[in-house]
Amino acid sequence: MTHVGPSASAAEQSRSSSDGTGSPGGGRATVRDVVGAYVGLTKPRVIELLLLTTVPVMFYAARGVPALGLVVATVIGGALSAGSASAFNCVYDRDIDEQMRRTRRRALPRHIVTARSALVFATVLALLSTVVLALWVNWLSAGLSLLANAFYVLVYTMLLKRRTTQNIVWGGLAGCFPTLIGWTAVTGELAWTPIVLFMVVFFWTPPHTWALALRYREDYANVDVPMLPVVKPAAEVGRQIVIYSWVMVATSLLLWPVADTGIVYPLVAAVLGGVFLLEAHRMWGRAKRSDSLTEISPMRLFHSSNLYLSLLFVAVALDPLLS
């Protein structure tokens, strides 16, 4: 397995020795190219998903509409933290990103910025995030955000991703922290309500990620990353997706008695859960009949998982407003 890790290979250092502004074609990159590259390092789509599980929890914690200034500070701090973690991930994984179809258009594989510049960028974002959350939210939220960042980089990216099929199961814990951060931003303390939502995201992550990994399993196999679809047949992946999906839906319904929600949340959670389970079982059935990605259509479940989580947390936000 090729593993460059945190230091660049000699070849990469040679290719990116100018100043981080070389274009893939060998010319000079424009300012727009460079700015776009730095934005890309933060993985904006991931930030959107993480904030989606932060802000609704703030509404529920406030039992209504939280203070706008608090929401803005939490969103800015959370976005900076998530962007920092993603940038650190891009630096460490630049060797395999350059070989994978899904990731080879990222900034580092294209040599628009250097690894050193990206590392400085990631560090600055982490510091800014901690300062914003500590000064304008509270120290508990700042500490949780910093812990999530460190867990994603040190535990998932550096320890688990290239070594075990359980990489995304336990590494996915980092993506669950926004539920805790959103709650503590409003209340200043932890409680069972955000912990239940934390676990919903925890059980949601494997079906979501394994569906995507099924689509790109050849990519992961080529770079020796042991994602579950690389080492197990599609039928087994489908079976495990179904198991996690059932536990996820059951956990989502647990919020009703634990948080004493109104009727809006459990109704939405039950309907969304039923639809998601139907989709997960259908994909498993297709995987048992054929190993062809065209037949399995894993991206259908992947997109369904995004919609499921989005609407579930919208229900979290609306429940106290409509109850």
Give 238-297 pLDDT, tens digit per residue: 999 999 999 999 999 999 999 999 999 999 999 999 999 999 999 999 999 998 888 999
pLDDT band at residue 11 using 50, 70 and 90 as cut-offs: very low
What is the predicted pLDDT for the residue at 31?
A: 87
- Average pLDDT of 143-154? 97
Name the 3-class secondary structure at 113. Answer: coil
Percent of the chain, pLDDT > 90? Answer: 83
Per-residue pLDDT at 163 exceeds 60: yes
In order of 22, 223, 248, 304, the CA distances from 240 in angstroms are 44, 23, 12, 17
* Fold of the CATH domain 30-187: Tetracycline Repressor; domain 2 (1.10.357)
Residue 255 burial by Cβ neighbours in a 10 Å radius (0-12, 13-18, 19+) = buried
Tokens at 272, concatenated: 């969304």
Boundaries of every domain in the chain: 30-187, 191-323
> Who wins on pLDDT, 101 or 169?
169
Single pTM value for the model: 0.89
Mean pLDDT for all residues in the chain: 91
pLDDT in tens, 169-211: 999 999 999 999 999 999 999 999 999 999 999 999 999 999 9
What are the beta bridge partners of residue 271? none
What are the beta bridge partners of residue 22? 28
Distance CA 272, CA 200 (A): 13
